[in-house]
Structure 1
């Protein structure tokens, strides 16, 4: 599928690589098809983009939460992952959205609502964690981390 995006220009995404999110994302429930765009030469922990296939103007920056909070281990309800089954440690990709305000030194990630992706089935869901809400805030600062890990 070809898509002319605001950020990346024209991209060609193989149909089997399009992520399906039946419930959309927080704030974007109507958007249900996404592509994960990243530089294959950059390591895990780099900023990637969740590009909407439904709206070419929307691409959300995302990152592996373990790269910014190594002890991140959210507890989630089993019901929230049923649509992603069979989910294993080998096919699970977890990402969190990055919020980039005008003052980029105030950049944060949402640790309270990770995006889980089954890389085998390309099914995904953004879920809300049920334990650890005090620790896993919606605005966890990451500017210092990103700034110290620049290439």
Structure 2
């Protein structure tokens, strides 16, 4: 059983910090810092998605203040297998505009999920996002993303 490397506590006064592990050098790096939790979670989500898209393993830690002291908070990283984007369902080649609009809807949904704190998606979650992207128009996708962002702000 592989164990997760232990993240060192960030230096300085307690604030929200996202730390990422670099396997090649066996080091930890602060990727985002803020006195507020939301921007750090958003950055954590974006960085996780980027690393996974590159095919890299993601190990991260979220540190923040609790009772005036440093506290390591759990991150919902799952050991899910990496999935490749699913091919288009239709046999016809989509137009460039259709591809771009599908990409925009996907980006809007992923941003909403990230703001809600759901940044590490399982293959089932990815399939659900793709289904929403294919079935909803841009206005509906933006509304869903708004709901997710509002839920994450609470």
> Quick check: TM above 0.5?
no
Specify which structure has the higher proportion of helix. Answer: 2
Please give the TM-score of this superposition, normalised by the length of structure 1.
0.28
Report which of the two structures shows the higher radius of gyration computed on alpha carbons.
2
The structure with the greater share of residues assigned to strand is 1
Q: Provide the TM-score with structure 2 as the length reference.
A: 0.28
